[in-house]
Amino acid sequence: MRDAAPPTPLTEPEPLSHGLKQRHLTMLGLGGVIGAGLFVGSGAGIAVAGPGIVLSYLIAGALAMLVMRMLGEMSAAMPASGAFSVHAERALGRWAGFSVGWLYWFLLVVVLAVEATGAARIAHGWVPGVPQWGWVLLFMVVFTLANLAAVKNFGEFEFWFAALKVGAIVLFLALGV
């Protein structure tokens, strides 16, 4: 009986290419934290709480920054492929990782709906002839297609969309001053 040689692939697998540039990643980070909720929700918060809302935003921002620094420390100390639910699983067990993963998915689903509704409210104010559900449908189709596109196209789309949001904030701050 002959020794069987291990199977070899006919062609070498191509390594994954890097389709996103540094500017894409930077604006993805900035655009990811700036949503329609900032534009719509801030007005509602200021109407209810007045200028005290700034203190609330500062406290919430500080807490979010501390949590992200802690996640960064855990990722540096114990690198793992996967989401941050891996850290919950390592520290507290499988049930914690499972719970954190599904709670994060639920959060994203809810936030997606809130963001689409907020963007639709803004767009409906500009073009009142289109119903809000029509704007939500349009935004969902456009963003789904952008997310399904090649990563380079996705990065370019997100770069310009995030630049638009950052530009709007700079304009609002300049007008406020």
Element (H, E) at 35: none
**pLDDT digit of tens for each residue in the chain (177 aa)?**
555 555 555 666 677 667 788 898 888 888 877 876 677 777 778 888 888 888 988 998 899 899 989 988 988 988 888 888 999 899 899 999 999 999 999 988 888 888 888 889 889 999 999 999 999 999 999 888 888 888 888 889 889 988 988 898 899 889 989
pTM for this predicted structure = 0.62
- Looking at 78-93, list the stretches that DSSP marks H as alpha helix, in order from N- to C-terminal side: 85-92
DSSP structure class, residue 128: T
